[in-house]
């Protein structure tokens, strides 16, 4: 099966009564015939559902679909993308541990890594997530390398294979936030990423109608149970140890579960991921080319020939550059004016919607960040982030052209 067919016929559905979609199991608890049966379900000795914070058929179906799509051995869905980032790390990190991450991360993730310092988990940031920049920072304490495959909004692209190779040579997993790349552009597991995360609120959902996140385990990382001590009680699960700990431990106990309704909405969105991404990437490239030829604002888009990541985009993503571009308008005032003049593009803090969205990151998502953090994330006073939509490209180009004419 190719990509679009697998989205529809991947067969991860919990179907009853001939329903063509997994229904929304909007219940908190599941009853069982006998006390013996519930005991088995609770102790992972029989399949079944007990309580929606632990598992639910609608959520299970969403998890299986994403796991299959990302070629992983399993997935755990979370209440949000931030919950997925948090749980993926807290599942293996302890006080005294360190991780290495790219400086050009999503604002919420940078804030989170600051929060984790209070628990004795330190993050060392590199300007770019490359093997060359990471290598000198690795110590005995380094337990994870974390990066966004296409940084939001810096739009730096990670060479997954070279970073994974370095991480593996040091016995460290590479945890990849693939939100902006989506499984349409890449299966990061094929290039060596060990744990794959999505804020499925974005492209997987597609319509901006439900927050969710998901963690996929590629199953390929060989955990050293003496280094990752917390995983040792789960040794008997073999390559499923990471997922077993997550599901039976911190994810469940922190209550990071995904609501069945939101799992349903994200499963529906997933069906059109391929169609939307094809359109979004084409629109993004055309709009980026317009900005470049127009010349009145500067543009950053990884699939432009003039972009330093062009070659990597060809190699890793088959030439597709994703659905985010940024422009620099010259000053904060001009950026605000441009945004205010747009007719179709909606001024909102989200990405991955079918409608085009714009935002001024410096005054919003990065308002808590230091000047240095903003600089490293590619957020300048005059930067506008554009999350392209599926509108007709001629309308979008004329909308942006009008707004620039008005400056
Ligand atoms: C939005 C986003 C997140 C956080 O996801 P939520 O669903 O908003 O919690 C994490 N990483 C990236 C790259 C994002 O764009």
State pLDDT tens for residues 243-300. Answer: 999 999 999 999 999 999 999 999 999 999 999 999 999 999 999 999 999 999 999 9
Q: Percentage of the chain with pLDDT > 70? A: 100
For residue range 152-169, list pLDDT tens digits in order.
Answer: 999 999 999 999 999 999
- Helices 107-116 and 81-90, interaxial angle, to 10°? 40
Say whether 150 sits in a helix, a strand or coil: strand
At residue 58, the pLDDT reads 97
Token look-up 């590199």 returns 126
Higher pLDDT residue, 233 or 373?
A: 233
**Distance (Å, whole) CA 394 – CA 306:** 23
CB-based contact 56:12 (threshold 8 Å): no
- Name which of 144, 93, 403, 159 is nearest 302 in CA terms: 159
Tens digits of per-residue pLDDT, 93-137? 999 999 999 988 998 999 999 999 999 999 999 999 999 999 999
| Span from the CA of 108 to the centroid of ligand 1 (angstroms) | 7
Say whether 142 sits in a helix, a strand or coil.
strand
Q: Classify the phi-psi angles of 144: left when phi > 0, otherwise alpha if psi is within -120 to 50, otherwise beta.
A: beta
Task: Determine the residue of 66, 77, 78, 82 to mutate for testing ligand 1's pocket, defined as the one with the most ligand atoms within 8 A of the Cβ atom.
Answer: 82
Ligand 1 center to 42 CA (angstroms):
32
235 C-alpha to ligand 1 centroid (Å): 31
CA-CA distance, 121 to 93, in Å (whole number)?
Answer: 7
- CA 50 to ligand 1 centroid distance, Å: 29
Ligand 1 center–CA 386 separation, angstroms: 16
How far apart CA 10 and CA 279 sit, in angstroms, is 22
Give the atom of ligand 1 at the shortest distance from the alpha carbon of 202. 1
**What is the b/e burial string over 194-203, where b = at least 16 CB atoms within 10 angstroms of the residue's CB?**
bbbbbbbbbb
pLDDT at residue 71 in the model: 96
Look up residue 93 and give its two tokens.
């990190």
Report how far residue 371's alpha carbon sits from residue 382's, in angstroms, rounded to the nearest whole number.
14
For the record, the structure tokens of 87 come out as 């749980």
Kindly state if the Cβ of 125 falls inside 6 Å of ligand 1. Answer: no
Tell me the pLDDT of the chain averaged across its residues: 96
* DSSP structure class, residue 157: B
pLDDT for position 10: 81
Pocket test for ligand 1, best of 156, 201, 323, 349 (most atoms within 8 A of CB): 201
- Is the separation of the CB atoms in 23 and 261 below 8 Å? no
Q: What share of the chain is helix, strand, coil (3-state, %, to 5)?
A: 45, 15, 45
**pLDDT (average), residues 181-193:** 98
Are the beta carbons of 266 and 204 closer than 8 angstroms? yes
């Amino acid at each position: 099966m190719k990509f679009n067919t697998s989205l529809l016929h991947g067969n991860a559905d919990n179907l009853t009564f001939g329903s063509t979609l997994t229904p929304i199991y909007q219940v908190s608890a599941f009853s069982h015939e006998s006390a013996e049966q519930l005991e088995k379900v609770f102790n992972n000795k029989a399949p079944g559902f007990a309580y929606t914070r632990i598992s639910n058929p609608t959520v299970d179906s969403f998890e299986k679909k994403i796991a299959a799509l990302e070629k992983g051995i399993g997935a755990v869905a979370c209440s949000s993308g931030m919950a997925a980032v948090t749980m993926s790390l807290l599942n293996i990190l302890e006080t005294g541990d360190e991780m290495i991450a790219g400086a050009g991360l999503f604002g919420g993730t940078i804030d989170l890594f600051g929060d984790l310092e209070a628990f004795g988990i330190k993050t060392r940031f590199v300007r770019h997530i490359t093997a060359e920049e990471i290598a000198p920072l690795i110590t005995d304490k380094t337990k994870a390398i974390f990066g966004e495959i296409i940084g939001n909004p810096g739009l730096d692209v990670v060479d997954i294979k070279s970073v994974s190779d370095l991480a593996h040579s040091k016995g460290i997993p590479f945890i990849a936030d693939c939100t902006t790349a989506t499984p349409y552009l890449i299966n990061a597991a094929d290039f060596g990423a060990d744990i794959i995360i999505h804020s499925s609120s974005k492209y997987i959902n597609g319509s901006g109608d439900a927050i969710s996140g998901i963690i996929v385990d590629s199953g390929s990382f060989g955990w050293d149970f003496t280094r990752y001590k917390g995983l040792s009680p789960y040794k008997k699960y073999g390559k499923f140890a990471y997922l077993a700990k997550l599901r039976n431990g911190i994810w469940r106990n922190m209550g990071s579960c995904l609501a069945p309704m939101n799992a349903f909405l994200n499963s529906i969105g997933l069906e059109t991921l391929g169609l939307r991404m094809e359109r979004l990437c084409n629109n993004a490239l055309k709009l980026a080319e317009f900005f470049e030829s127009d010349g009145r604002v500067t543009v950053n888009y990884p699939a432009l020939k003039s972009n330093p990541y062009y070659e990597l985009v060809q190699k890793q993503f088959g030439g597709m550059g994703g659905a985010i571009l940024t422009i620099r308008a010259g000053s904060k005032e001009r950026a605000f004016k441009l945004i205010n003049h747009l007719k179709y593009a909606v001024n909102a803090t989200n990405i991955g919607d079918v409608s085009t969205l714009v935002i001024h990151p410096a005054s919003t998502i990065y308002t808590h960040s230091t000047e240095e953090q903003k600089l490293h994330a590619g957020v300048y006073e005059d930067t506008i982030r554009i999350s392209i939509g599926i509108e007709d490209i001629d309308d979008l180009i004329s909308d942006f052209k009008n707004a620039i004419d008005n400056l």
